[in-house]
Amino acid sequence: MAHVANRIRRGFYLDSVALMRLSQIVAALPGVTNAALMIGSVSNRGILKEAGLLAAGNEAGANDLIIAAAAGSDKEANDAVARAEQLLDQPQGGGAVAGTRRPRSTGAAARELGGANLAIVSVPGEFAAGEARKALALGLNVLIFSDNVSYEDERSLKEEAGRRGLLVMGPDCGTALIGGVPIAFANLVPTGDIGIVAASGTGLQEVSTLIARGGGGVSHGIGTGGRDLSEKIGALTTLAAIEALDADDGTKRIVLISKPPAASVAQAVMARVARSKKPFVVCFLGARDLQLPANASLAPTLAAAAQAALGGKPAAGALDIPSVAAAARREFDRQRRWIRGVYTGGTLCGEAQIVLREAGERYWSNAPIPGALPERSAMAHSLVDYGADEYTRGRPHPMIDPALRNQALVEALDDPTAAAVLLDCVIGYGAHDDPAGEVARVIPGAARNRPTLVASVTGTDADPQNRAAQVEKLKEAGVLVAASNAEAAALALAIAQPR
């Protein structure tokens, strides 16, 4: 038989929901079989009666609160009622914090922000095109960091952007520099009057940082994604970016960076360049015979492009290659003839190949520039891009996690045919905290008979890792540090060439 306790608060009102919550707490007390706090209206009294909670003689009316509990003993029932009164007297509210609720869709986020002009999309590839399309519909320019987007989607997104007067950077665009702001994998570079349009993120990083170190600045660096100048895409973003920079009063000169485009695409791009009044520097890495309009000059390497953009001024800290190479040479056996390049940046790997190609050397690469040998050979230079797809499937890019490149570096140092090991260190936002430190860490201490290490550091002193500090770490580890990747390649070659 349940013991029922009732108490009445005269002239008391509390919202029924609050009362139901208190009821729940009280009903959960030990020994309590049922409990309710209800205003004593006729219908509520009926509910309490049916639940066996209304004590005989309870006279509460519609302006009164009934506190009722049923329990295994009178004491437990009375304790429950007392606890209920306590809860009524000391409201528990205010504890929970609203927390920061983040918007769940691009539309909601854009509305919250107000005046958004760029969306960065880095979701899995199968969803990236959809997210980009939604962002375009909201009037946002889009940087698609994601890869695995189909050509068909890329083209339709870029056409859509064209209709809306917007830019789609990417897919697979890792770098942009908008009004001095580094986006994704990019460096802190002073603003200036040089605009860059780049199909390669690392290319954009190398050129922008060389410009910075040469005393210049960048207005905007626009990434296009690696496939933009293919026949299927037709340079839609490159053309739109040229259009945008051409119309931008802050941009006086424009640098174009890409792999060699398809012939028809190159023609379309050059036709657009010719319509501009601004001077262009064209760096289509590895391109041989390109018809350029009068307002454009050709730069064979990224370093040359930066130099041309700076009006011919050479990059700061250029080395005297013959004397540095002479000092670096040791008494090697004649087998040590080749460069082993261990790269994290594909475009830098390509640039090094161009330096070798222009010197008439034999080279092989997993990311080949036209002129490369078809097969890897011990009797040729080899330049490996450890950021290529076959090395990054299911693992982080070596610019973020250098483990794979570290291992390759150690192996290259043991290669008896290697005269020089050539490497890159890319710093800046998005990159590893201390790539030079990682290189220094894995180099075995002062072995006498080993290839010379030659490196470049892509970045600026303003970057979080600080280029000067990175260079110092490499030098302390016995690495020769060049002013640019192209110079590093030339130095490595000078060391490796027969004397």
Partner 1 sequence: MAANSLLRPPLKVVNIGLAGFARDLEARGVPVAEVEWTPPARGDARAAALLARLYASDVVEAANQEALGRFLKAEPVLVDVRPASEVIKGLTDRMILHAGPPIGWERMCGPLRGAIQGAIVLEGWAPDLAAAEKLAASGGIAFEPNHHHDAVGPMTGMITRSMPVMIVENRTFGNRAFCPLNEGLGKVMRFGGNDAEVLKRLRWLESTLGPALAGALRKSGGLALKPIIARGLSMGDEMHQRNVACSSLFIRQMAPWLARAVAESETLAKVCEFIGANDQFFLNIAMAMGKAIADPAKGLAGSTLVTAMCRNGTDFGIRVAGTGERWFTAPVEQPKGLYFPGYSEKDANPDIGDSAIVETIGLGGFAMAASPAVAGFVGAGSAAEALNYTRAMYDITLGRNPDWTMPGLDFAGVPTGIDVRKVVETGIAPTINTGIAHRLPGIGQVGAGTVKAPLACFEQALAAMAEQMGVA
Q: Which of residues 158-187 bind partner 1 (CB under 8 A)?
A: 160, 165-167, 178-179, 181-184
Q: Which of 63, 73, 117, 264 binds partner 1 (CB under 8 A)?
A: 117
Identify any residues that bridge with 4 across adjacent strands, giving them in sequence order.
70
Q: Which is nearer to partner 1, 228 or 487 (CB)?
A: 228
Determine contact, residues 347/200, Cβ cutoff 8 Å.
yes
Residue from 248, 434, 461, 472 in contact with partner 1 (CB under 8 A): 248
Maximum distance among all Cα pairs of the chain, rounded to whole angstroms: 115
Which residues within the stretch 359-398 sit at the binding site for partner 1 (CB under 8 A)?
A: none
What are phi and psi for residue 329, nearest 5 degrees?
Answer: -65, 140
**Using an 8 Å Cβ cutoff, are 496 and 339 in contact?**
yes
Q: Which bin fits 478, alpha (ψ -120 to 50), beta or left (φ > 0)?
A: left
**302-309 vs 346-358: helix crossing angle, rounded to 10:** 90
Rounded least distance, CB 39 to partner 1, Å: 10
DSSP letter for 260, please.
Answer: P
Query: In which element (H, E) is residue 219 found?
Result: strand 218-223
| Least gap, CB of 388 to partner 1 (angstroms) | 21
The answer to whether residues 144 and 166 touch, using CB atoms and an 8 Å cutoff, is no
Residue from 48, 45, 70 nearest 60 by CA: 45
Q: Which of 134, 313, 329, 475 binds partner 1 (CB under 8 A)?
A: 134
Least separation, in Å, of the C-beta of 300 and partner 1? Answer: 29
What's the CA gap between 277 and 467, in Å, rounded?
A: 36
* Binding of residue 280 to partner 1 (CB under 8 A): no
433 forms part of the interface with partner 1 (CB under 8 A):
no
Q: Does 105 bind partner 1 (CB under 8 A)?
A: yes
Smallest separation (angstroms) from partner 1 to the CB of 274: 17
Residue from 28, 47, 263, 468 binding partner 1 (CB under 8 A): 47
Binding status of residue 77 toward partner 1 by CB under 8 A:
no
Q: Which of 99, 312, 444, 445 binds partner 1 (CB under 8 A)?
A: 99
Which of 5, 32, 65, 68 touches partner 1 by CB under 8 A?
A: 68
Q: Does 46 bind partner 1 (CB under 8 A)?
A: yes
* Interface with partner 1, residue 98, by CB under 8 A: yes
Q: Does 53 bind partner 1 (CB under 8 A)?
A: yes
**Position 139 contacts partner 1 (CB under 8 A):** yes
Distance between CA atoms of residues 387 and 396, nearest Å: 9
Within 13 Å of residue 429, how many CA atoms lie on the same side as its CB?
15
Beta bridge partners of 382: 340, 364
Which of 8, 25, 41, 276 is in the footprint of partner 1 by CB under 8 A? Answer: 41
Side-chain half-sphere of 223: how many Cα atoms within 13 Å? 28
Q: In what order do the strands lie in the sheet with 338-343?
A: 363-365, 381-385, 338-343, 418-426, 452-458, 480-482
250 vs 371, which CB is nearer to partner 1?
Answer: 250
Of 123-131, 284-292, 450-458, 481-489: span binding partner 1 (CB under 8 A) = 123-131
Tokens of 492: 């490595």
| 45 belongs to the binding site for partner 1 (CB under 8 A) | no
Query: How far, in Å, CA of 52 to CA of 55, rounded?
Result: 8
Smallest distance, partner 1 to C-beta of residue 252, A = 14
Binding pattern for the stretch 187-226 against partner 1, x by CB under 8 A and - elsewhere: --------------------------------xx-x----
CA atoms of 254 and 261, how far apart (whole Å): 18
* Contact with partner 1 (CB under 8 A) among 64, 131, 172, 424: 131
What is the smallest separation between the CB atom of 123 and partner 1, expressed in angstroms?
5
* Distance (Å, whole) CA 158 – CA 165: 10
DSSP-derived pairing of the beta strands 452-458 and 480-482: parallel
CA distance 302 to 486: 7
The answer to the question of residue 108 lying near partner 1 (CB under 8 A) is: yes
Total residues at interface with partner 1 (CB under 8 A): 91
**1 vs 247, beta carbon nearer partner 1:** 247
Taking CB under 8 A as the criterion, the residue among 243, 401, 434, 461 binding partner 1 is: 243
Return the number of the residue (140 or 443) whose C-beta is nearest partner 1: 140
